Structure 1
Amino acid sequence: MLNNIVGLILLVLIFQGCKPKEDHVPTDKEINDAYTYMLGRYIVLRQENNDINVEKVGYNKIKYNPLGSAQFVNPNMDVAYLECWLAVDSSHAVILNVPEVKDRYYTAQLLDGWGEVITNINERNYPDHPFGKFALVIKGTNPPNIGDAVKIELPSAKAKMLARVELKGSPQEAVKLQQAFTLNVPEGIKIDPPVKVPEFTNAKLIGAAIFDKPDAILNSYPDPMPEAARYQALTKRVAAYMLTSDSAAAHVEEVVQKQAIPAFMEGAKGFGTQKGGWSVSYVAGKFGNDIMARDIINYGGLWANVITEAIYFVGLTDSGKQLLHGDNVYEIRFPKGEWPDAAVNAFWSVTLYSVPDYHVVNNSLMRYSINNVSGLKPNPDGSKSIWLGSTKPPGSDDVNWLPTPAGKGFALTFRMYVSKPEVLDGKWFPAPIQKK
Structure 2
Amino acid sequence: MKTSKWIFSCIASASIAFGIVACGSSGTAPENGVVVSGAVPTDDQIVSAWDYLYGRYLVLQQENHDINVEKVGYNRIKYNPLGSAQFVNPNLDVAYLEAWLAADSSHAVILNVPRVTGRYYTAQLLDGWGEVITNINERTYPDHPYGKFALVIKGTHPPVPADAVKIELPSPKAKLLARVELKGSPKTAVRLQHQFTVDASPEIKIDPPFDVPEFTPAAPIRAEIFDHVSEVLATCPDPMPKAPELQALASNVASYVKSSAAARARVDDLIRTRAIPEFFAGTKGFGTQKGGWSVSYVVGKFGDDVMARDIINYGGLWANVTSEAIYFVGQKDGNGQPLDGSRTYEIRFPKGGKPDAHVDGFWSVTLYSVPDYRVVPNAMHRYNINNVSPLKTNADGSTSIWLAPVRPKNAPQSNWLPTPDGKGFSLNFRAYVPKQDVLQGEWFPPPIALAK
Q: TM-score, normalised by structure 2?
A: 0.84
Change (3 A) 1:362 1:237: farther
Change (3 A) 1:33 1:397: farther
Residue 118 of structure 1 aligns to a residue in which SS? strand
Range with bigger deviation, 402-411 or 104-113: 402-411
Tell me the distance in 1 between the aligned counterparts of 2:136 and 2:37: 51
* 1:279 equivalent in alignment to 2:279: no
Match of 1:292 among 285, 307, 314: 307
**1:86-105 alignment, distance < 5 Å:** 86-105=101-120
Count of aligned residue pairs for this structure pair: 415
Aligned match of 2:75: 60
Residue type at the aligned position of 2:262: S
Cα RMSD, aligned residues only: 2.6
* Conserved? CA contact 2:298–2:322, under 8 Å: yes
Range with bigger deviation, 260-269 or 159-168: 260-269
Aligned match of 1:363: 377
Change (3 A) 1:23 1:346: same
Tell me the distance in 2 between the aligned counterparts of 1:244 and 1:324: 51
1:174-207 deviation digits (Å, cap 9, x = unpaired): 1111111111111201111111223333333333
Aligned match of 1:434: 449
Change (3 A) 1:355 1:256: farther
* Conserved? CA contact 1:361–1:404, under 8 Å: no
Listed as ranges, the gaps of 5+ residues in structure 2 are: 1-35
Residue 311 of structure 1 aligns to a residue in which SS? strand
Tell me the distance in 2 between the aligned counterparts of 1:252 and 1:158: 31
CA positional deviation for 1:371 = 1.2
Change (3 A) 1:429 1:89: same
Aligned match of 2:143: 128
* Conserved? CA contact 2:368–2:376, under 8 Å: no
Tell me the distance in 2 between the aligned counterparts of 1:98 and 1:53: 27
* 1:348 equivalent in alignment to 2:363: yes
Aligned match of 2:282: 267
Tell me the distance in 2 between the aligned counterparts of 1:196 and 1:355: 33
Tell me the distance in 2 between the aligned counterparts of 1:227 and 1:100: 39
CA positional deviation for 1:355 = 6.0
Tell me the distance in 2 between the aligned counterparts of 1:363 and 1:314: 20
Aligned match of 2:235: 220
Change (3 A) 1:218 1:404: farther
Residue type at the aligned position of 2:374: V
Residue 204 of structure 1 aligns to a residue in which SS? coil
* Conserved? CA contact 2:43–2:270, under 8 Å: yes
If asked which structure has higher relative contact order (CA below 8 Å, sep 6+), I would say 2
Listed as ranges, the gaps of 5+ residues in structure 1 are: 1-20
Aligned match of 2:189: 174
Residue 243 of structure 1 aligns to a residue in which SS? helix
Tell me the distance in 1 between the aligned counterparts of 2:418 and 2:227: 43
1:63-82 deviation digits (Å, cap 9, x = unpaired): 11121135666542111111
Change (3 A) 1:246 1:390: farther
Aligned match of 1:183: 198
* Conserved? CA contact 1:269–1:316, under 8 Å: no
Residue type at the aligned position of 2:435: K
CA positional deviation for 1:230 = 1.4
* Conserved? CA contact 1:73–1:301, under 8 Å: no
CA positional deviation for 1:58 = 0.8
Aligned match of 2:257: 242
* 1:108 equivalent in alignment to 2:111: no
Q: TM-score, normalised by structure 1?
A: 0.87
Rg (Cα) greater in structure = 1
**1:32-43 alignment, distance < 5 Å:** 32-43=47-58
* 1:193 equivalent in alignment to 2:204: no
Residue type at the aligned position of 2:302: F
* 1:203 equivalent in alignment to 2:218: yes
Change (3 A) 1:22 1:348: closer
Change (3 A) 1:40 1:293: same
Change (3 A) 1:387 1:83: same
